Structures are given as structure tokens and as C-alpha cells.
Structure 1
Amino acid sequence: MIGLLCFVLAVLASPFKSKLRLEAENAVLRHQLIVLRRRPRGRVRLTNHDRWFLIQLYRWFPSILKVLTIIRPETLVRWHRAGFRCYWRWKSRPQGGRPQIDTELRALIRRMSVENPLWGAPRIHGELLKLGFEVAQSSVAKYMVKRRGPPSQGWRTFLRNHAPDIAAMDLFVVPTIGFDLIYAFVIVRLDRRDIVWTNVTANPTAEWVAHQITEAFPWDGAPGYMIRDRDRIYGAVVTRRLRAMGIRDKPIAPASPWQNGFAERLIRSIRRECVDHIIVLGEAHLRRILKSYARYYNETRTHLALDKDAPVSRPVQRTGVVRSLAVLGGLHHHYARA
């Protein structure tokens, strides 16, 4: 009864369907009858031609899903998607020409172009040839990083190229056991963060600071620029001494200690790792402590900014027994193989 009702409804709706749509549905019905007649017994067996026929009709007339009985609509949709993947896999097949470049080589080309913004495709191609990579220059140009503007170095590279000619100096106070204040003076180079000079005094003057600068740098090893704050201790005597040594004086802006960040960071390390854990007895005691810490800071202590190396580069030791050497009476330790 339900089948008869469905047939009547289909007959009533048939005048409103297009002629091509009706012919497609009739073709599907006839093909299903052919498949059923072809089956000797058991499960229906569909060939690739049957699947191709149904998929093509489904592409043109999706409404044929309503008249499919020997297979589920989900099965036909799955066949269509599988055919779509096979088609585009066939379209994307290699058709001769140059062999494809490995992913690692493409990544290396991009890395070289990023790390060397002033290099073009010929330069990178030459480097790859020296590394044993057989690749065309046009392929190198294809996989390079595309830039919107002209090539230019970054700020990190610019600062690294100028850091060897820049030094910074500053003063900080340390209380003694008698609650007196002793002034410590430090000079640091920005290139390797090494402490160039340390000294202490109870009564700092401009003449004393100028003398420390002279002692810190030989005449042929002075930096090109000296960063300092605007403390009154740096008087005309200091500026004349800097000018005489060929050092350009670079005072920071008023109330801007972050502009002398290297010296401020060094002083923070000295306080946190040294003088905050020691009761200073006097000038000689503090001078000896700072010299010991400066030697540890330059030759042993690793720095994150230097890729975990010391300012005076430490060799890697791979053989021998690890020994522990006390620094500052055991406040720190230096480990080496012997």
C-alpha cells in the first residue's frame, strides 16, 4: 500500500520535473535492473563501469539519490569523493622536467636568505654548490624569502657590529661594617660584556675617575664611545680626558638609567651574586672582592647573551675528571676537568 502511494505521488509530481531529470532517473532505474539481472546469487556485485556510470549521473543530477535502491546514497557520495581524489592525484603527477627539491634543501635556502638579507640568488647558489648541493639558480630564486622592500640588516646585526667600540661606566655604593659608604667604579665593554676595570674609593672626584679611565684603557685600545650617566662626578676633567684619548663622550638623557642598561645590569649582578652576601670591612677588602668577582665574571661565569659562554671564551673540556674550584670562599664554584 505504501509503495502504491509513493508511485501515485511520483506520477503526480512528474509533470513538474524537467525532461532531462526524468531521463536520468529512468536511466538509473534501468541500470539497477541490469545489475540485478546480472547477479547469479547472493550479494550484488558492482563493477568499476557501474560505479563510474552512477557517479557521472550523480555529478550532473544529484536528485538520482532518491531512486537508488541497490546501494546507499552515502556509498555513492563516498565513491564520488574517492574519484575526486584520484582525479587530482592524476592531475598532480610529475610530468618530467627537473626533479623535485627536498624539503630540507628548501628550508636551507629559506634560512640562508633570512640570515643573509644582502645575498641574492647567485650568492646563495654558490654557497649551496660549495656544500655539495646540485640545484639550479632559478630554483634557489624560487624558494628564497620574498621581501617587500630593499634588503637591509636588522637592529641586532647593526648593534653587534658597533658593540666592540662601545663601553659603559658607572658608580655604585656599598655599605661597610661601620655603616660608611664606599663607592665602586666599574667599566664594561658591550661586545663581550667583560669587566674592563674595577676600583673603589671613599671620596670619588672627577680627577679620580679620569685616572681610572686612563688606567683601564691603553692608548691604542680605547673604545670609540663611552656611555655614562649625568652624575656631577663626571666633570670637565673627565670629558677632557675622554677627548684626549679619542673617546666620544655619550651621556644618557636625564633620569633615564635604562639607556645605560649594560652597566646597570652588571651592577645588579655584582650586588646579587657578590656584595649582598658579604659584609665589607673596608676599601682594601672591597677592592679585593671586586677583583676576584671580576676574574670569575670574565673567565668562568656563563652568560645567556653570549650563548652560555664566558666573556673570555671557555674551551669545551670533554676528557678528565670534573673538579670543583671555590670562588669567593665558596660563594660560587668553577668546574673544570683535570
Structure 2
Amino acid sequence: MSIENPLWGAPRIHGELLKLGFEVAQSSVAKYMVKRRKPPSQGWRTFLHNHAPDIAAMDLFVVPTIGFDLLYAYIIVRVDRRELVWISVTAHPTAEWIARQITEAFPWNEAPRYLIRDRDRIYGSVVTRRLRAMGIRDKPIAPASPWQNGFAERLIGSIRRECVDHVIVLGEAHLRRILKSYSAYYNNITTHRSLDKDAPVSRPVQRIGSIKSHATLGGLHHHYARA
């Protein structure tokens, strides 16, 4: 006979054995227990897999302008469909500004259950209070673990490779227009391997009509569709 439960410790197993009529010391139970190789609670990857529909992630990245000024772009992405739900630009990011972006990104009845972020000091008490008020659980990543915010990090990499690395940014308003156009292209056109080659906003399969090419982002990318 064996009692196996990865969440039980020696005291719990010892109690069960006593109730089954086995007179044994708790120290003996602890001695012969199988040593765990993994923590009893779910790991970060398991958490992401189990709760993906209820998770969003946010992050900031820097974009230089033609005048060598630095602008800050802020993104929020839904984990399950990789949808870019919010993107905005500012020259002076503050906790108050980020809190306002979160409020504008999610209607009160559509907020995610969890919001992943890094440990940047800009996410101060103003941001955490706003999250609590909206019923969102704050999920900061572990120190020095950017991979835990991998969905936002990969999206930022895509924005750089597919957009801002090929554009000379003139100013804040210009960058905002560029990123809004990229957001529409990314959500509605770009296919993802993790989504079975579908777009974040699902694209229907077109089988009838001639194929036309539509330029986006000034011809940097093209969208092919049947007319």
C-alpha cells in the first residue's frame, strides 16, 4: 500500500496512517517519503498555460526620434490570442499615466483577471491601487526573469523588427500614428504559429476571387486578400 499525494507533507500522511490503524512515528514517514523534484505549487509556465484566457501582460520600450529625443511606447497584450489590446506613446511616463492607460484599455466588465508586469519602479502604488480597484490581480515577475513576461517581450521584438527599426520617427504624434497602424496590421493580418497560422483577430479563409495586394505602413508590409 502507498499513499501518494504531491501536496501532502509528512504530518498529513502520518495522520492518514494513524486513522488506518498503522502505528508509526512521523519521523519515519518523513524519512521514507519520496523527495520532490518540483515545487508543490504550479510553476510560472503552468500558471500561464492554465490561466491564459484570463491573463494580459504589459511593458514599456524606448524609441528614439530624428532629434535624438526618447519616446516611450506602452503596450498591453492578451496572452491567449496574442492580441495587442492597447498601445500608446508618451515622452514622460509616470505611474499616473500608466494607471490611466490601464483604465482606458479595459472596459470595467472586460478586464483580465491577472496582469503580468516587470518590476520597474514606474509601476508604483498608483498602478497597483488601480489594478485592485478594477479587480485585476497584479502579477510582477520574479527579479531578473524577463522570460516570465515573454509574451510582451516577443511582441516588442516584433514591433521593432517589423516596424520602428525601419522608420525615422519625427515626433510623438508621428510615432503614435505609426504604432496604431501597426497594431491594426498585427491584430487583423499577421498570422501566428501558436494560433494555428491564424491572426489574433481570427481571419476567415478566402477561396473565391482574385488575389489583391494591399500596402500597409507605407508599403513596409502587404496584406493579400481575395476581391
Q: Indicate the TM-score class for this superposition, using the shorter chain for normalisation.
A: 0.7 to 0.9
- CA shift, 1:161, in A, is 4.5
Q: 3-state SS of the aligned residue for 1:220? A: coil
The number of equivalent residue pairs is 184
- CA shift, 1:156, in A, is 8.6
Matched ranges for 1:9-48 at <5 A:
none
Which consecutive residues of structure 2, in runs of 5 or more, have no partner in the other structure?
A: 1-43
User: Could you report, residue by residue, the CA deviation over 1:16-65 in whole angstroms, capped at 9, with x for unpaired residues?
Assistant: xxxxxxxxxxxxxxxxxxxxxxxxxxxxxxxxxxxxxxxxxxxxxxxxxx
- CA shift, 1:239, in A, is 0.1
Partner of 2:75: 186
Q: 3-state SS of the aligned residue for 1:172? A: strand
Partner of 2:94: 205
Matched ranges for 1:126-145 at <5 A:
none
Matched ranges for 1:1-338 at <5 A:
159-338=48-227
1:300 is aligned with what amino acid?
I
More helix by share: 1
Q: TM-score, normalised by structure 2?
A: 0.79
User: Could you report, residue by residue, the CA deviation over 1:73-99 in whole angstroms, capped at 9, with x for unpaired residues?
Assistant: xxxxxxxxxxxxxxxxxxxxxxxxxxx
Q: 1:249 to 1:159 in 2, by over 3 A?
A: closer
Identity of aligned residues (%): 83
Alignment root-mean-square deviation, CA: 1.5
More strand by share: 2
- CA shift, 1:162, in A, is 1.4
Q: C-alpha distance in 2, partners of 1:255/1:161? A: 23
- CA shift, 1:256, in A, is 1.2
Q: TM-score, normalised by structure 1?
A: 0.53
- CA shift, 1:285, in A, is 0.4
Q: C-alpha distance in 2, partners of 1:325/1:303? A: 20
Relative contact order higher in (CA < 8 Å, ≥ 6 apart): 2
Q: C-alpha distance in 2, partners of 1:313/1:248? A: 28
